[in-house]
Amino acid sequence: MKILIAEDSKKLSQAIKQCLEYKYSVQQAFDGNEAFYYAKDGIYDLIILDVMMPGMDGYTVIKKLRENQVQTPVLMLTALRGVEERIRGLRLGADDYLPKPFAKDELLLRIEAILRRSNNLYDARQISYKDLVINYDEHTVRINGKVLPLKGRQFDVLEYLVLRQGQLVSKSQVFDKVWGFLSDTSTNVVEVYVSALRKILKAHDYDKYLHTIRGAGYLFGERDNR
């Protein structure tokens, strides 16, 4: 899972990063413009968003994200303790609010609660599309009960596409989600993995659900050809 920390205090940002990186993949942004740039593609599972940031404040960031149909869960951080400030953030689409200073354990519990509500991964421990089932406990993918012979990051690529079923995702979105921003690998690796996945899915007649949209990206699911 990927979490974006948008906090202009590098000391606090680093402290949060150290709390999370044992379990999550973490990216940092240090002003509002950078936060929006990273978050707009929706590749994160959660955004930790400070209210008072240079360039663009947290309220503006979340407002623009929701206007752009980015529904990534947001946990807002603020030193402002007024009820009006909390209400403002929640009305703009924040999922929770954590006033500064806060305890490490409370931060972790709030993050886990948001992820449970938004993804339901920790409850169901699986996601599916028709007869294709991704099981997180077993780290397997089955179609009609038969395990697919996935290797390496093929599981992660397929998981991301299935999670975004019915949505067009770009090659760069898949790359950033699976390989990460700092990877030395070329984004062309995505094409290689998608091609391999298509061959595996074809054995079960599920390659018809993995679409390559020329010049745009990929879509998993039924495609409207009208």
Q: Is 174 helix (H, G, I), strand (E, B) or coil?
A: helix
* Stretch(es) of the chain classified as CATH 1.10.10.10: 125-220
Residue keyed to tokens 């949209």: 213
DSSP code of residue 141 = E
Predicted confidence at residue 120, as pLDDT, reads 57
Task: Report the C-alpha gap between 97 and 76 in whole angstroms.
Answer: 5
Residue 164 has pLDDT above 90, yes or no: no
Choose the most confident range, by mean pLDDT, from 20-24, 101-105, 129-133: 129-133
Write down the mean pLDDT value for the chain.
88
* Domain 2-121 listed as CATH 3.40.50.2300: yes
- Residue 38 has a pLDDT of 92
At the top level of CATH, which class does the domain 125-220 belong to? mainly alpha
Q: What is the pTM of this model?
A: 0.63
Strand order in the sheet with 140-143: 126-129, 132-135, 140-143, 146-147
Domain with CATH 3.40.50.2300 in the chain: 2-121
Looking at residue 68, its amino acid is: N
> What is the DSSP code string of 120-141?
-HHHH-EEEETTEEEETTTTEE
Predicted pLDDT of residue 226: 41
Report d(CA 171, CA 97) in Å as an integer. Answer: 33
Torsion of CA 204, 127, 26, 112, to 10 degrees: -170
pLDDT at 121: 47
Which pLDDT score is estimated for 177? 82
> Do the Cβ atoms of 58 and 51 come closer than 8 Å?
yes
pLDDT digits (tens, 9 = 90+) for 81-114: 667 777 888 889 899 988 888 888 889 889 988 8
